[in-house]
Structure 1
Amino acid sequence: MKIIAVGWNYRGHNAEMNQKETPQNPIIFFKPETALLKDGKPFFLPQFSDRIEYETELVFHISRLGKNIAGKFAHRYYDSVTVGIDLTARDKQAEARANGNPWDIAKGFDNSAPIGKFIPLPEQTPKADNINFSLFINGVKVQQGNSQDMIFHIDELIAYISQFYTLKIGDLIFTGTPAGVGPVKIGDHLEGYLEETKVLDFFVK
């Protein structure tokens, strides 16, 4: 399975990170399978970074094999959604960007992709046009977003990504984060919601 992630897909987050240009095409990167963290298992802060930040995202589950998928048919290729966290070693990312180097280790380290319980979506279109999601840390809401605010909708993302990579059943697409990212620390309790349903729940240790 592949974990496909999208950068700079919310204008609010782009602004808070001083990313002034709106991307003309989706910005794609990958996390390895070893990045996956699920079933409420704790996340252990790694020793190699002094600043691990959360980025709350909608994550879609690919349900059909596909290549070169037309946008009008893209809704047929995913069947469920959850909340995920794109944990980022912000100091490592800044260092790599400053030197003009790739920043894979800042995004793809072990357990950097916590995901929650998947919620089925309707088969008909539209199926992902108005999904509210949020993250609470220690009972306080720190981030919220809506799928309508994505620069590139999940159907557009699937059409674009499938030009270059065959999508397989079980692949996951992290669709980008809204404004409000910030650091995590030992003892933090993270809870992710789709609408009013809690789908993600884990601790930082």
Structure 2
Amino acid sequence: MKILAIDNEGHVHAAADSAVVTRSQPWFEPDQGAPWHGEAYIAAIVSRLGKGVAERFARRYYDSLCVVIHPRPAVAGSLYEWTRDGSILMGDHIPVDNLADKTKVSVGEASYPVDIARMLGMFDRLLCDVAEHHTIKTGDMLMLPLTEIQPVALKRPLTLDITLGETRVMRLKVR
């Protein structure tokens, strides 16, 4: 499984599959690097095999989205921010067809508007770029930052509900 993320500065990062923490697992705050905050991303989950995909066909290669929280130390700069275990907190997958063009992502009490139609266009372009150089496979994940959402402090003990549209996709537990 490939996990590729574009950060707010436009850099591409690759993460190992051991970086993924699923919805039901808590995230354990590391002792080093405190304080920690979480940045929100939205991820497209690849649903079929492909290489050299044209942009007009890109939408056929993913069928669900999920919200991802990427924990980072408040003082960024570590070479291992994306490669360490537990660096991607992944929520439930929501079928693209079930999402409105304009929806919201809620992190705790704060709610932020998200233009899903614009994000899908960005995923189409990203998928084409990736598929030009790599074979994309079922289960691969492409992540884009949700720049509208402010980073959230990840301080133990914390339980935070995250929703996409009206569906709760994650209950983040920081231990």
- Provide the C-alpha distance between the structure 1 equivalents of 2:151 and 2:112, rounded to a whole number of angstroms: 7
1:68 aligns with 2:52: yes
1:82 — aligned with what?
Answer: 66
Distance 1:142 1:44, change over 3 A: farther
How far is 1:167 from its partner? Answer: 0.8
Match of 2:139, SS state, is coil
Paired AA for residue 105 in structure 2: S
How far the C-alpha of 1:152 sits from its partner, in A, is: 6.3
Aligned counterpart in structure 2 of residue 109 of structure 1, from 84, 101, 104: 84
Give yes or no for the alignment of 1:136 onto 2:104.
Answer: no
Deviation per residue, 1:172-200 (Å, 9 max, x gap): 11111223113210022122211111111
Q: Percent of counterpart pairs with the same letter? A: 25
For the Cα contact (< 8 Å) 1:67–1:162, is it kept in 2? yes
Q: Are residues 142 and 197 of structure 1, via their aligned partners in 2, closer, same or farther at CA, if it must alter by over 3 Å?
A: closer
Normalising by structure 1, report the TM-score: 0.75
Deviation beyond 4 Å, 4+ runs, structure 1: 148-152
Question: After superposition, what is the alpha-carbon deviation per residue over 1:127-164, rounded to whole angstroms, capped at 9, x for unaligned?
Answer: 97825342423xx2165533355596111110111122
Q: 1:159 aligns with which of 113, 121, 128?
A: 128
Paired residues, what number?
174
Q: 1:6 to 1:204 in 2, by over 3 A?
A: same
Out of 29, 32, 37, the residue aligned to residue 13 of structure 2 is 29
CA distance in 2, matches of 1:119, 1:2: 20
**Amino acid of the residue matched to residue 116 of structure 2?**
S
Task: Provide TM-score, normalisation by structure 2.
Answer: 0.87
Q: Does 1:183 align with 2:153?
A: yes
**Map of 1:40 onto structure 2:** 24
Which structure has the highest strand share of the two?
A: 2
Structure 1 spans left out of the alignment, 5+ residues: 9-18, 20-25, 97-102
Counterparts of 2:111 and 2:73, CA distance in 1:
18
Q: What is the aligned partner in structure 1 of residue 93 from structure 2?
A: 118
Q: Which amino acid aligns with 1:164?
A: H
1:27 offset after TM fit, Å? 3.1
